[in-house]
């Protein structure tokens, strides 16, 4: 039975924390970049369901209508709340990864 040297195992455990942090930062960045798209899709679905009466015919019609009616700030409505919740979840994940990595080093 072959076993890995302890130096390789320690190196693999050492890489857990930076990978976790970079993964969480990538998730936050993708959330920030795609938030306007999600906003337009939700508003388009609400209009098609009859909750609003703007008469959007598609994605770009909704995007153009929101941009001209309210302005670009309307595409980021609710972004602060989503970012705060994303950061809270990321912080808990980072603390957990830090605790797991710290406990394996001792």
Boundaries of every domain in the chain = 32-105
Tell me the per-residue pLDDT of 12-24, one tens digit each, with 9 for 90 and over. 555 666 777 788 8
- With b meaning 16 or more CB within 10 Å and e meaning fewer, what string describes 27-51? ebeeeeeebbeebbeebbeebeeee
Instruction: Give the chain's end-to-end CA distance (angstroms, integer).
Output: 26
Phi/psi of residue 49, nearest 5 degrees: -80, -5
Q: Which two tokens stand for residue 97?
A: 């990864």
Tell me the per-residue pLDDT of 63-97, one tens digit each, with 9 for 90 and over. 999 999 889 888 888 888 888 888 888 888 878 87
The count of other CB atoms within 10 Å of the CB of residue 103 is: 9
Q: Which two tokens stand for residue 71?
A: 């302005």
Provide the pLDDT confidence category of residue 46 given band limits of 50, 70 and 90.
Answer: very high
pLDDT the model gives residue 106? 46
pLDDT the model gives residue 8? 54
């Amino acid at each position: 039975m072959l076993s890995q040297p302890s130096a390789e195992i320690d190196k693999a455990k050492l890489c857990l924390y930076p990978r976790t942090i970079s993964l969480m930062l990538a998730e936050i960045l993708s959330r920030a970049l795609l938030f306007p798209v999600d906003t337009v899709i939700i508003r388009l679905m609400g209009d098609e369901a009859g909750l609003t009466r703007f008469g959007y015919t598609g994605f770009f019609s909704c995007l153009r209508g929101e941009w001209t009616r309210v302005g670009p700030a309307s595409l980021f409505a609710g972004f602060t709340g989503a970012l705060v919740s994303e950061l809270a979840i990321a912080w808990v994940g980072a603390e957990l990864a830090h605790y797991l990595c710290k406990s394996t080093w001792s």
